[in-house]
Chain A
């Protein structure tokens, strides 16, 4: 057994409208170099101009991470050459990060609550993009100068699973805060990890940096693999080299980066162009006032107040919008358990299949739909139909129920007629059932439901069917 120590370095692109040191738009998806100016291209004579917005989002994140927040904002230069770095130094925070000594809690999938300490968070600018082509490279500085927040955790994670869960929780949180959209595929949330192993109680081991973790799933696989790799070396007494390795998804392993100088000397020194300054009280008050209920707190509250199951509460609080929708639906009269299971079940399925956004329906109309079902004005299968139509048309459930004449379901006389008709269409199946093949009941039930347009009450229909076949309820199970 070895102790595994994993720390993460997460970079998040802040949701500012302009770049951190110039007014170029920070939006993407346009052609290369659509959003550049002399400042972010590093022309002679230009100066960085720090934006309030970037600072506010960074501060907000720091508060949510329970950091000790800096009163003085100070920037530094990190010097190194790279083609997509306009100035060949990055403006960042080295000596005095905006927040430090914080922590964040998250739950493992079994509900165990864990805590990760945050070493520091600091504001910095992003670099551009280099695209390698056959005869050289193409540089796009759209992303250069965009605002970035780096979050460095302590090596408190002990497995790929923990890292994955933490990262997911972290992503949910930054989305709640509206400081970042958390999109790992597009690169607005990037993660590098440091992994070391050691014999239990012997402290941290030799640190290896792992890069190229493009999704939280990769994070789990890569870190577990790396931990095992290091464990094997440790146990066989071989050296673990402190280096940077890349996760190779295809090969399913980490590969050493053949870089020339492992330890770059960044020659950090204070940024002379932006004098350090003290944050005024108004700034701090404003930022504190903008704090929201965080996902984990909301999760705990949902479990306690609405008596939801863990899985349901986790699903509902995964997105802020979703959690708000749920609560508003409950305020509008939907029973919490029902609302939860509808949202996690049928609604989730429909949203995913159709790609329609949640905003298409209102929490009130959703509550009305649920109540129509619990009051047995319509059957659950009918309810699903109504929901589908609500998403398509934006109409209210009452409008749809009336239009489709769904209320009242199918009366017993008509239902009996329907069943008889189906039995005469499938005489072989009826015989199978009479011979004892109960599974065939499902087939007939499906037909009945289909023929009735979902309006038949499934329980009533089954009872009638069995009666008609002359089978007692007990044996049908």
Chain B
């Protein structure tokens, strides 16, 4: 994958790559993509894509609220930084 494409992709994935990493990953990605291009030879145009291998219909959940204060407290405890009951993060730029 070209370095530029890699950087665009890394940006979309919010992955910060230093130059060394970018170099190395660029090569690895290129190898992988080259390999994946093999799929071009598959004759599958008329086929429907498969997203769900097996499903026997889903069971919908009833719209009944449940509140678990203990669980929610334990979730807040696991946060990196809390202010009051909000998650605190550094400034969000527009």
Contact = CB atoms under 8 A, between A and B. Distances in A.
When A and B assemble into the complex, do they touch directly, with CB atoms less than 8 Å apart?
Answer: yes
Interface of A: 16-18, 23-27, 31-38, 41, 43, 49-55, 81, 83, 130-132, 135-141, 257-259, 265, 267, 270, 272, 274-278
A23 B65 contact: yes
A33 B87 contact: yes
B92 A137 contact: yes
Interface stretch (B19-27, B34-42, B70-78): B70-78
Nearest to B83: A138
A25 B68 contact: no
A27, A36, A257 pick with most chain B CB within 10 angstroms = A36
Given A23-B61, A38-B75, A276-B52, 15 more contacts: A23-B66, A24-B67, A25-B66, A33-B86, A35-B67, A37-B71, A37-B75, A51-B63, A81-B14, A136-B88, A136-B91, A138-B83, A138-B86, A138-B88, A139-B88
Contacts of A24: 65-67
A32 B58 CA distance: 33
A25 B67 contact: yes
A137 B65 CA distance: 29
Given A23-B61, A23-B66, A26-B65, A34 B89 contact: no
A32 B84 contact: yes
Contacts of A51: 60-63
A141 to B, nearest CB: 8
A50 B60 CA distance: 6
Contacts of A277: 55, 57-58
Interface of B: 12, 14, 51-52, 55, 57-58, 60-68, 71-72, 75-76, 83-92, 94
A49 B61 contact: yes
A250 B47 CA distance: 56
B6 to A, nearest CB: 15
A83 B92 contact: yes
Given A83-B92, A136-B88, A36 B72 contact: yes
A38 B76 CA distance: 11
The 9 closest A-B pairs by CB, nearest first: A53-B63, A138-B86, A25-B65, A275-B55, A52-B60, A139-B87, A23-B66, A275-B52, A270-B51
A343 B34 CA distance: 74
B91 A135 contact: yes
Contacts of B63: 16-18, 51-54
Contacts of B66: 18, 23-25
Contacts of B84: 31-32, 138
A52 B61 contact: yes
Contacts of A17: 63-65
A272 B58 CA distance: 13
24 contacts: A18-B61, A23-B64, A23-B65, A24-B65, A33-B72, A33-B85, A36-B75, A37-B71, A38-B75, A52-B63, A53-B63, A136-B88, A138-B83, A138-B84, A138-B86, A138-B87, A139-B88, A140-B86, A140-B87, A270-B51, A274-B58, A275-B52, A276-B51, A276-B52
Given A25-B67, A50-B61, A53-B62, A139 B89 contact: yes
A83 B89 contact: yes
B12 A265 contact: yes
A258 B68 contact: no
B62 A52 contact: yes
Contacts of A49: 61
Contacts of B57: 277-278
B88 to A, nearest CB: 6
